Amino acid sequence: MEIKSYITKLLEKSNEISIKSISEYHNELSDSHFKYGLLYDFIEEIINSNEEPCALKNAISQLETSIYCLSLGLYRQAYSSLRLGFELALGSIQFSVNKLDFLEWQIGKQDVKWSKIIDEENGVLSKRFFDVFFPELTTVVEYYNSSAKNSYRKLSEFVHGNNETWKKDGLELTYNSNLAKNYFSHYKSISEILLICLSMRYLKHLERGNLDFILTELSHIEGIRLYLGGPK
């Protein structure tokens, strides 16, 4: 097939999938984009307060990329971008208190390592980390650590090309409602984990008056609700 016809055919198929995605998952797409906006706004507040943002903007951009890929039926790419954004964002938070690691990462001598991020003793989602920056949140550490591990493991199956994933997401560009549904479930969990971790690390360094959106999203977390002036 001539290349122009080939590309045109792919674009037409992606458009068809996009229409189906918006039709069936309009609310989920809208909510995912909204949560991306919240995370972006939060990072802007962090940068404006002169806190070191590391690669947070780059990380969050991958969440937006994953939404776009999902809407076009590029499910493996959507899962992969979501995992990349998740890992890099948490890695950036960890780098923010490990200056040498961050500087080595900048010059290519250090990698973002999931095993360090998720370490139950010293990682971002550890009682030690939360105790230093936001001890009122230590009661939720175990839950979010477990949730993070679960989502990362499931997303990684698509990154590594596990055999089961090819049965779910084959070689043809086709609409897959189940993959979309699972994606939105992971996206919801990941966006909340990131909001929790960003709040833990930075919330007490920011002006409270600009953070109503955090209270709206995390009002079910008592430590954050009380800190931002919500009811007991």
Segment holding 8, helix H or strand E: helix 3-24
Report the distance separating Cα 97 and Cα 166, nearest Å: 39
DSSP 74: -
Q: What is the pLDDT of residues 213-222, one digit of tens each?
A: 888 899 999 9
Residue-level pLDDT at 61: 95
232 pLDDT above the threshold of 90: no
Per the confidence metrics, is the pTM higher than 0.75?
A: yes
Average pLDDT on 59-68 reads 96
Give the model's confidence band at 95: pLDDT under 50 very low, under 70 low, under 90 confident, else very high.
very high
The ranges assigned to domains in the chain are: 3-227
Q: Which residues have CB under 8 Å from 6's CB, separation 6+?
A: none
Report the distance separating Cα 104 and Cα 119, nearest Å: 20
Report the distance separating Cα 56 and Cα 93, nearest Å: 8
Distances (CA, A) of 14 to 33, 66, 81, 169, 180: 19, 15, 18, 15, 14
Q: What is the pLDDT of residues 2-48, one digit of tens each?
A: 898 888 888 999 999 999 999 999 999 999 999 999 999 999 888 88
Give the model's confidence band at 163: pLDDT under 50 very low, under 70 low, under 90 confident, else very high.
low
CB of 14 closer than 8 Å to CB of 73: yes
Length of the chain: 232
Q: What is the largest CA-CA distance in the chain?
A: 66
Give the model's confidence band at 63: pLDDT under 50 very low, under 70 low, under 90 confident, else very high.
very high
Dihedral of CA 147/192/121/138: which sign? Answer: negative
Tell the residue number behind the tokens 């931002």, with chain if given.
Answer: 228
